[in-house]
């Protein structure tokens, strides 16, 4: 089923998607916010530019965007998958607590800000290109992977990655020479075991965007984790 | 009705801009359309546009756009203008009545040139004289407000959604080589006509999405140099800061950007180019009171160009795209796609990284 989004406001568009069958295609999308918010049982393909907070509170649905996406994709998503074939704006995966986001291109500022995890809820954000500043700001759980596949010589991440990070992990496909991390995180070369833990994510990324997983995995990765088991300890008076 | 400053409303905003590097003139239609997909970023309490190159037949004259509360204010203000300026044209600024825009003040347009004798006796150059006069009117004449004062450019603003403000001012009838636009969602104050963006002085205009945490520190500094912040809305201070840094201090655009969105000391410290490093240390030290903190994305319009800039932490969104001789800037890519579906090189500038676009020399 195809929904032409031209001249539909975000509410009407979401109503049309809700009323559609399991598989639907949205064409002529142009800035409609909150697309597929909270949806659980759909597979939605998007042509055009979806608005901010695409897949907010997503609860199991799959969203495939053929081009770029704007800010706050997957805001507080709980489950499901979002696949972006272009670049993604700022604050991707904002406070996501489950599900997966795969981006072929670059991410803007604050990707994975305040991601969190709890038991079986283990969110993952994979960025194929570069990430902007404040990657994983206040990250509390889950996995952020940046692959740097642009090959344009730019650093894989801009300034201040991991600011306020206190849980979860980041894996950057780079030696991260010259990249400054804050004092409360620990950065080291990823081991084979570390890479094994993300193999499934990389496989899925390669399936969507047609890359060779061995080539990607056969590279140097840096693992970033918070350096304390009790990151709040230093913030309070011990008494 | 309570005016700005007497009420606090919590809030977002939308900005967009287009410029032709070849100086080709475009009607206002497309920038008005561009604001539509960003409708929900505004709340109907302010919309506005700045257009450059729209008055070629009067390009030697300052185009003063006024809001007047009533006829008698206009009469007395006109008397005041006549003592200082040659008025070559005085007219109602054309608008169309539409139900979306109500309670409009008297909106008037003058094309003027300062009297040579007045300039000579005051020993001021004409830009300084016009700037001082605008400040005087806006602070000392209740019910009169100059909202545009540049040459060959004009600002058009109102209380309403930007797409309606564009229709109200008949922007399809103007042709400019660059346009900026704003949809307002007032953060701290109610909307009124004077409080809509752009905020202008001479040919400088600002559209702004954000909230200036450092407003009072910036205001106290800039008011030492004769600027008066009368609108109790934070954005106007950026216009005066830019005027001070560019016109009075003679800084370049990128230097001015390094003042208002100064890099962190740690970022300056890590610069390898020592000359660049020293320059940044100098700018942050000398103009420390002009650092603008808090979230912002702005488009600064000037005679012959545009500059887009984000705060150094990039707490607001901004996207840039290109096609042929045109460069597009907007809060959201969707707005750019309205103006040019095939826009190329879509990218998001980093925080504090100015994007400066100038029209080819002699093309405007």
Are both A40 and A152 inside the same structural domain? Answer: no
Distance from CA of B332 to the nearest CA of A (A): 7
Are both A59 and A161 inside the same structural domain? Answer: no
Residue B192 has pLDDT above 90, yes or no: no
Q: Is residue B264 part of a domain?
A: no
Are both A14 and A73 inside the same structural domain? Answer: yes
Q: Is residue B271 part of a domain?
A: no
Q: What is the mean pLDDT of residues A126-140?
A: 97
Q: Is residue B113 part of a domain?
A: yes
Q: Is residue B265 part of a domain?
A: no
A64 at B interface, C-beta within 8 A: no
Distance from CA of B334 to the nearest CA of A (A): 5
Q: Is residue A101 part of a domain?
A: no
DSSP β-ladder status, A23-30 and A2-4? parallel
Q: What is the pLDDT of residue B8?
A: 45
Q: What are phi and psi of A134, to 5 degrees?
A: 60, 35
Dihedral angle, C-alpha B343, B347, B353, B358, nearest 10 °: -10
Which residues of chain A lie closer than 8 angstroms to B267, CB-CB? 159
Q: What is the pLDDT of residue B11?
A: 47
How many domains does chain A contain in total? 2
Are both A131 and A220 inside the same structural domain? Answer: yes
SS3 for chain B, per residue? CCCCCCCCCCCCCEEEEEEECCCCCEECHHHHHHCHHHHHHCCCCCEEEEEECCCHHHCCCEEEEEEECCHHHHHHHHHHHHCCEEEEEEEECCCCCCCCCCCCCEEEEEEEEECHHHHHHHCCCHHHHHHHHHHHHHHHCCCEEEEECCECEEEEEECCCHHHHHHHCCHHHCEECEEEEEECCCCCCCCCHHHCCCEEECCEEEEEEECCCCHHHHHHHHHHHCCCCCCCCCHHHHHHHHHHHHHHCCCCHHHHHHHHCCCCHHHHHCCCCHHHHHHHHHHHHHCHHHCCCCCEEEEEEECCEEEEEECCCCCCCCEEEEECCEEEEECCHHHHHHHCCCCEEEECCCCCCCEEEECCCCCC
Per-residue CA distances from B37 to A33, B187, B236 (Å): 9, 21, 26
Do B37 and A51 make contact, defined as CB atoms within 8 angstroms?
yes
Which residues of chain B lie closer than 8 angstroms to A52, CB-CB? 332
Are both A127 and A226 inside the same structural domain? Answer: yes
Q: What is the mean pLDDT of residues B124-129?
A: 96
How many domains does chain B contain in total? 1
Q: Could you give the count of Cα atoms lying within 13 Å of A147 in the half-sphere of its Cβ? A: 29
Q: Is residue A133 part of a domain?
A: yes
Task: Give per-residue pLDDT as tens, A172-191.
Answer: 999 999 899 998 899 999 99
Q: Is residue A96 part of a domain?
A: no
Region of poorest pLDDT, from B9-23, B79-93, B190-204, B323-337: B9-23
Q: Is residue A170 part of a domain?
A: yes
Q: Lay out the sheet containing B319-323: strands in order across.
A: B153-158, B47-52, B178-183, B14-20, B326-330, B319-323, B344-347
Task: Give per-residue pLDDT as tens, B38-78.
Answer: 999 999 999 999 999 999 999 999 999 999 999 999 999 99
Are both A116 and A70 inside the same structural domain? Answer: no
Which domain covers residue B135, as residue numbers? 14-217+296-358
Cβ-proximal residues to A213 (8 Å cutoff; 6+ apart), any chain: A199, A202, A203, A206
Helices B253-260, B235-243: inter-axial angle, 10-degree rounding: 140
Residues of B marked as catalytic: 13
Are both A74 and A177 inside the same structural domain? Answer: no
Q: What is the mean pLDDT of residues A153-177?
A: 94
Here the CATH number for the domain that contains residue B79 is 3.60.20.10
Q: Is residue B28 part of a domain?
A: yes
Q: Is residue A103 part of a domain?
A: no
Are both A52 and A115 inside the same structural domain? Answer: no
β-partners of residue A102 are: A83, A126
Band of residue A236 on the pLDDT scale cut at 50, 70, 90: low
Which residues of chain A lie closer than 8 angstroms to B40, CB-CB? 10, 33
A75 at B interface, C-beta within 8 A: no
User: What b/e readout covers B269-288, taking b as 16+ CB neighbours within 10 angstroms?
Assistant: eeeeeeeeeeebeebbeebe
- Tell me the C-alpha distance between A47 and A103, whole Å: 16
Q: Is residue A100 part of a domain?
A: no
Do A70 and B40 make contact, defined as CB atoms within 8 angstroms?
no
Which residues of chain B lie closer than 8 angstroms to A13, CB-CB? none
- Tell me the C-alpha distance between B330 and A70, whole Å: 12
A70 at B interface, C-beta within 8 A: yes
Q: Is residue A102 part of a domain?
A: no
Which domain covers residue A219, as residue numbers? 87-91+108-239
Residue B274 has pLDDT above 70, yes or no: yes
Do A89 and B348 make contact, defined as CB atoms within 8 angstroms?
yes
Q: What is the pLDDT of residue A232?
A: 61
Are both A119 and A236 inside the same structural domain? Answer: yes
Interface of A with B in 192-211 (CB under 8 A): none
Are both A155 and A215 inside the same structural domain? Answer: yes
Which residues of chain B lie closer than 8 angstroms to A33, CB-CB? 40
> Long-range contacts: A198-201, Cβ < 8 Å, 24+?
A198/A143, A198/A145, A198/A171, A201/A100, A201/A124, A201/A126, A201/A143, A201/A145
Are both A13 and A54 inside the same structural domain? Answer: yes
Distance from CA of B40 to the nearest CA of A (A): 9
The dihedral built from the CA positions of residue B72, B76, B82 and B84, taken in this order, carries a sign that is negative
Band of residue B9 on the pLDDT scale cut at 50, 70, 90: very low
Residue B152 has pLDDT above 80, yes or no: yes
**Do B259 and B290 meet the contact criterion of CB atoms below 8 Å apart?**
yes
DSSP β-ladder status, B355-358 and B305-310? antiparallel
Q: In chain A, whose CA is at the least distance from the CA of B339? A: A30
Which residue, among B16, B40, B328, would best test binding to A if mutated, counting the most A CBs under 10 Å from its CB?
B40
Per-residue CA distances from B360 to B31, B91, B154 (Å): 21, 33, 21
Distance from CA of A70 to the nearest CA of B (A): 7
β-partners of residue B302 are: B305
Residue B121 has pLDDT above 80, yes or no: yes
Band of residue A227 on the pLDDT scale cut at 50, 70, 90: confident
Band of residue A235 on the pLDDT scale cut at 50, 70, 90: low
Q: Is residue A47 part of a domain?
A: yes
Six-digit token string for A117: 């995890």
């Amino acid at each position: 089923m195809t929904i032409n989004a031209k001249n539909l406001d975000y509410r009407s568009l979401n109503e049309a998607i809700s009323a559609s069958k399991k598989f639907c295609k949205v064409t002529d999308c142009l800035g409609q916010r909150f697309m597929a918010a909270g949806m659980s049982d759909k597979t939605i393909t998007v042509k055009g530019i979806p608005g901010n907070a695409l897949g907010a509170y997503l609860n199991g649905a799959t969203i495939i965007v053929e081009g770029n996406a704007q800010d706050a994709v997957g805001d507080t998503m709980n489950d499901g998958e979002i696949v972006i074939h272009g670049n993604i704006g700022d604050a991707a995966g904002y406070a996501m607590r489950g599900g997966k986001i795969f981006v072929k291109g670059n991410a803007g500022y604050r990707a994975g800000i305040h991601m969190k995890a709890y038991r079986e809820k283990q969110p993952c954000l994979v960025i194929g290109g570069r990430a902007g500043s404040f990657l994983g700001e206040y990250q509390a759980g889950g996995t952020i992977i940046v692959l740097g596949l642009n090959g344009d010589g730019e650093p894989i991440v801009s300034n201040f990655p991991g600011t306020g990070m206190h849980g979860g992990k980041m894996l950057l496909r780079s030696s991260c020479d010259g990249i400054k991390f804050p004092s409360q995180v620990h950065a080291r070369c990823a081991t084979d075991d570390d890479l094994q833990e993300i193999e499934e994510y990389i496989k899925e990324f390669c399936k969507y965007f047609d890359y060779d997983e061995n080539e990607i995995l056969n590279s140097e990765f840096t693992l970033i984790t918070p350096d304390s088991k009790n990151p709040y300890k230093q913030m309070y008076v011990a008494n | 009705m309570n005016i700005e400053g007497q009420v606090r409303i919590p809030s977002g905003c939308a900005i967009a801009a287009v410029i032709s590097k070849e100086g080709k003139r475009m009607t206002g239609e497309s920038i008005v359309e561009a604001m539509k997909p960003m409708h929900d970023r505004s709340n109907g309490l302010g919309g506005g546009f700045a257009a450059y190159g729209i008055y070629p037949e009067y390009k030697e004259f300052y185009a003063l756009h006024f809001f007047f509360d009533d006829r008698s204010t206009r009469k007395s203000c006109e008397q005041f203008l006549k003592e200082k300026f040659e008025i070559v044209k005085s007219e109602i600024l054309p608008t169309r009545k539409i139900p979306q825009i109500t309670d409009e003040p008297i909106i008037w347009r003058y094309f003027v040139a300062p009297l040579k004798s007045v300039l000579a006796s005051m020993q001021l150059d004409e830009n300084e004289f016009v700037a001082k006069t605008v400040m005087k009117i806006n602070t000392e004449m209740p019910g009169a407000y100059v909202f545009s004062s540049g040459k060959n450019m004009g600002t058009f603003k109102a209380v309403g959604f930007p797409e309606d403000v564009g229709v109200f001012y008949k922007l399809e009838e103007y042709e400019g080589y660059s346009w900026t636009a704003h949809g307002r969602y007032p953060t701290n104050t109610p909307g009124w006509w004077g409080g809509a963006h752009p905020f202008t002085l001479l040919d400088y205009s600002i559209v702004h999405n954000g909230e200036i945490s450092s407003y009072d520190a910036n205001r106290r500094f800039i008011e030492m140099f004769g600027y008066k912040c009368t609108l109790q809305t934070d954005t106007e201070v950026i216009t005066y800061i830019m005027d001070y840094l560019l016109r009075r201090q003679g800084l370049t655009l990128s230097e001015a950007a390094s003042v208002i969105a100064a890099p962190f000391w740690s970022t300056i410290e890590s610069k390898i180019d020592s000359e660049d490093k020293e320059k940044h240390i100098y700018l942050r030290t000398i103009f420390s009171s002009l650092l603008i903190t808090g979230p912002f994305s702005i488009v600064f319009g000037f005679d012959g160009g545009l500059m887009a800039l984000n705060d150094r932490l990039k707490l607001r969104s901004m996207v840039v795209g290109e096609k042929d001789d045109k460069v597009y800037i907007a809060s959201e890519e969707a707005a750019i796609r309205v103006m040019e579906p095939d826009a190329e090189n879509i990218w998001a500038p980093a925080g504090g990284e100015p994007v400066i676009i100038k029209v080819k020399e002699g093309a405007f």
